[in-house]
Structure 1
Amino acid sequence: MHNRSRKRFLWIPVFAAMACSLLVALIMYLWNTVLVAVVAVRPVTFWQAAGLFLLSRLLVGGWPGGGRGRHGGGPAWRGKWQQMSDEDKRRFKEQFRAKFRHGPGEG
C-alpha cells in the first residue's frame, strides 16, 4: 500500500505541469485571438504567454496558499479596513470620492 501512494505522489508534478501548460495555452489563445484583433498588438508565443502569466501572478498576486497560513489570506488592506472605525471609513470614502470625482484630464 505504501508503494502505491508513492506512485500517486509522483504523478502530482506531471499533472501540475500539464495544468500550467493548459493555462498558458489558454492565455496565448486568448491573447492571439482577442487582443490582436481589438488592440492591434502582435501575437505571442507559448513562452511569451508563460512570461505574461508569471508576470501577472507576481504583480497581482493570487498564488494558491500565498504563504500566509491557513486563515491569513487576502489583501493586506482588508485587515486595515476592518480595524478602521465607522467614522474613519466614512472619511476615507469621502476623500477617495473627492480625489477621483473627475475623469482623466478633467483637472
Structure 2
Amino acid sequence: MKRRAHKLTLLIVVWGTIAIAGFGSAVWQLWNLLMPTLFHLPAIGFWQAVGLMALSWLLFGGWRGAGGLRNDGRHARRHMLTDEERDHLRASMARDGR
C-alpha cells in the first residue's frame, strides 16, 4: 500500500511539473508574441510568465470552469420550486422586463 502511495505521489509531481512547464511556456510565448506589439509592454521571462499565470489563477478562480463562476445554489433552488412558484417567478420576471 505504501509503495502505491509513493507511485501516485511521484505521478502527481511529474504531471504537475509538466503542466506548469507547458502552461508557463504557453503564457510566455503568447505574452512575448502579442503584448509588446499590441500594448508596447516589455517582453517577459519564463518564471515571470509562471508567476503571471499563478496570479491570474488566484484572481480569476483557477480550475472551476466557465471562467471561475461558482455554483452558489441558485440552480438547485430553482429546481426545488413548485409549479405555482415557478409560474409566479416567471410572471414577475416578465413584468420586470427580464
TM-score tier by shorter-chain length is: 0.5 to 0.7
| Partner deviation per Cα, 1:66-90 (whole Å, 9 max, x = no partner) | xxxxxxx9425x5347757332587
Match of 1:75 among 44, 55, 70: 70
Which entry has the higher C-alpha Rg, 1 or 2?
Answer: 2
- SS state at 1:17 partner: helix
User: TM-score, normalization: structure 2?
Assistant: 0.62
Structure 2, unaligned runs of 5 or more: 79-88
Gap change, CA 1:64 and 1:8, over 3 Å in 2: farther
CA displacement, residues 40-89 of structure 1 (integer Å, 9 cap, x when unaligned): 11011111111111111111103359xxxxxxx9425x534775733258
Question: Which residue in 2 is equivalent to 1:49?
Answer: 49
Normalising by structure 1, we get a TM-score of 0.58
CA RMSD, Structure 1 to Structure 2 (Å): 3.3
Aligned to 1:8: 7
Which consecutive residues of structure 1, in runs of 5 or more, have no partner in the other structure? 66-72, 94-107
Assess, with a 3 A threshold, how the Cα gap between structure 1 residues 11 and 18 changes in structure 2: closer, same or farther: same
Q: Which has the higher helix share?
A: 2
Q: How do 1:77-92 and structure 2 match up within 5 A?
A: 79-80=73-74, 83=77, 85-86=89-90, 87-88=92-93, 91=96
| Residue type at the aligned position of 1:34 | L
* Structure 1 residue 33: Cα displacement: 0.3
